[in-house]
Structure 1
């Protein structure tokens, strides 16, 4: 569906597993937007499994790294959970809890939905801390702490006033500090140039699609050496090795 390869992560609640998709953009983007309990799961036509947002199993860019990306720019737009929660002791009164709900100045007590949401993101938070410290990831956190996950009505403010302006400032600083140039240099190493020269034999007109190397792995080229030829090559190599061993043993004697 796209000019460049892409992937999409969803949570398969039928098999309790993570799914990575690379086809049918609209379907799996829709599945990845299924944030419970606001949207129903999407039924995968391939196997009938129910798919929801992939954030419940993996909300970090390690998949891009595993698929061949040498540098990953990760933008964290998740809301920050409150940590100043009420310590209500060993027991909890329903009337007291109702008063906490009504009183806007009272200490916050998490409800069942928030508890379930926090439990769902526990593993992702741990993974995020690991990724932020990795060498391959450029972590970006826009100043959006005052917004909540469900603030869809503030989209224009988040996108234009915060996200766009922060992006301009950040990438301008990167350009002046040679950070972007250093990212590109990582892809122009000797090994990378060798792989690109090998790929040019099979895809001489690849210019725009070379950008896909940043975000996806190019399938390895299959060997065109026949099994008999490979066996002969190995035999000759082994014979050369044995000759070297015999020469060394003769010198020792």
Structure 2
């Protein structure tokens, strides 16, 4: 009877856990039931330009005379309107504006670096002779996440605008227990949130290793699931409890 009871308990627990994927794998993220929700990967092969986001810290320098004193450092201090120090860093507020000396608030949200430089140069041209502007995002970062038993996450800061997906994976320590054929890439564009599924297990898809990463991208590697091992881990405490209960019952009965 004891043996039959244990078998029934195991069957019930198995059905419960196997039927409820969320119970077995509560740390899984970005699940997609409809594969048509993925954006076409071909879009990633285009040379996308990073755009300004809320919270970006911009290092902005404005020089007069087309930046002549960059090539000739003996120029006067007045040739540089915004210096290369702490005061040259400006944070994009929640409304998409930065507050610059002498010209006030400027809307830069969703603009590329080149567009920002042109906008700022035009605004300063009223006060500066032949302004030369450089804009650099100081807090560029990518978020790398993995699920499963080796669940971890890391924020990777980078400076090179040509940083690729394989650069990020390598910096994060590689794909240990994840699916190389299920790498999710989330990218916020000015219009919508894009969701891509990248398969790097197939050599024919190797070209996607070198797609350019943009600031604030999220890279998530779907974990490899081992249902039997997970089931044993989850059920073992219950089986121990039931077995202990049966032993106590038999001792009391006898």
Answer whether TM exceeds 0.5 for this pair: no
What TM-score range do you get, normalising by the shorter chain?
Answer: under 0.3
TM-score, length of structure 2 as denominator length: 0.24
Larger Rg: 2
TM-score, length of structure 1 as denominator length: 0.24
Compare the two structures and name the one with the higher helix fraction: 1
Compare the two structures and name the one with the higher strand fraction: 2
